[in-house]
């Protein structure tokens, strides 16, 4: 109905019309402002909205390689390991201690599964909060966001969590014979066996290297099954655990038993 727009033009030309672009930008600003207001003043209502449309906001960040992240990142919500509810990135960083270097996250099928991951032990033992990524788009978000509030995102599966593990340091001796035996036994099923820097009470965990996580692997194989994408698997062993001591002894005295131990730990 505006006299500024010619009626005798194609739809494609209309999409590039200056007046319509202005209208679209104003609408976008209005919607974003209303969503931010809803988050502040009606948290329950916003969480209900996010449950239904949060994935659209995430894809809005992923679109154009994160070009819109500044507008959308403060509207994101993730489950918090310490708060036991959804929280924003701003709320997370606001609770961080000065000594915490990273925004820690863990990905999995659901909150219960993530909460049980052995890889979360060290971060939890240092009384630090972990964001639980339960949707397939979540890990891709960290590639688009890179940082928030000057803090990098760091997966609990990463080899370097920037945290001390005194028990692991005390058991740093030469375990090359055991690690070589584990790799030989499992062959191509794993890329490498190594002594873990993150495990505390659990004997073993599996981590991914090469930029492709296990959750990303599931997603890529679901959308592109012919590609056969596979994350590089690393078996991490806790040298301070009694199971490792038993494996070490078996490698020295009974290779057949040791091979069974390796299979059990890998399973």
Tens of pLDDT along 152-161? 999 998 878 8
Give residue 2's pLDDT.
54
CA gap 225, 66 in Å, rounded? 26
On whether the CB atoms of residues 175 and 239 are closer than 8 A, the answer is yes
Say if pTM beats, i.e. exceeds, 0.95: no
pLDDT for 120-142, tens place per residue? Answer: 999 999 999 999 999 988 999 99
Look at strands 192-195 and 232-237 and give their pairing.
parallel
């Amino acid at each position: 109905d505006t006299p500024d727009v010619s009626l005798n033009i194609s739809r494609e030309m209309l999409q590039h019309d200056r007046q319509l672009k202005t209208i679209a930008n104003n609408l976008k600003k209005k919607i974003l402002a209303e969503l931010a207001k809803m988050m502040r003043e009606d948290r329950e209502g916003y969480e209900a909205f996010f449950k239904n449309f949060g994935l659209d906001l995430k894809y809005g960040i992923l679109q154009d390689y994160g070009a819109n992240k500044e507008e959308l990142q403060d509207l994101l919500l993730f489950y918090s390991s310490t708060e036991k509810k959804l929280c924003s990135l701003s709320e997370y960083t606001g609770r961080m201690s000065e000594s915490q270097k990273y925004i820690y996250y863990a990905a999995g099928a659901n909150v219960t599964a993530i909460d049980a991951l052995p890889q979360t032990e060290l971060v939890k033992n240092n009384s630090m909060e972990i964001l639980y990524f339960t949707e397939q788009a979540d890990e891709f978000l960290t590639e688009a966001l890179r940082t928030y509030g000057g803090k990098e995102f760091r997966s609990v599966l990463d080899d370097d969590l920037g945290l001390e593990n005194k028990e692991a340091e005390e058991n740093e001796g030469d375990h090359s014979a055991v690690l070589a035996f584990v790799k030989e036994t499992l062959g191509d099923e794993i890329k490498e066996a190594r002594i873990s820097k993150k495990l505390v009470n659990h004997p073993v965990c599996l981590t991914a290297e090469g930029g492709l996580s296990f959750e990303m692997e599931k997603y890529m194989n679901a959308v592109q099954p012919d590609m056969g994408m596979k994350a590089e698997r690393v078996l991490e062993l806790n040298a301070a655990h009694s199971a490792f001591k038993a494996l070490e002894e078996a490698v020295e005295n009974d290779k057949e038993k040791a091979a069974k131990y390796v299979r059990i730990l890998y399973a």
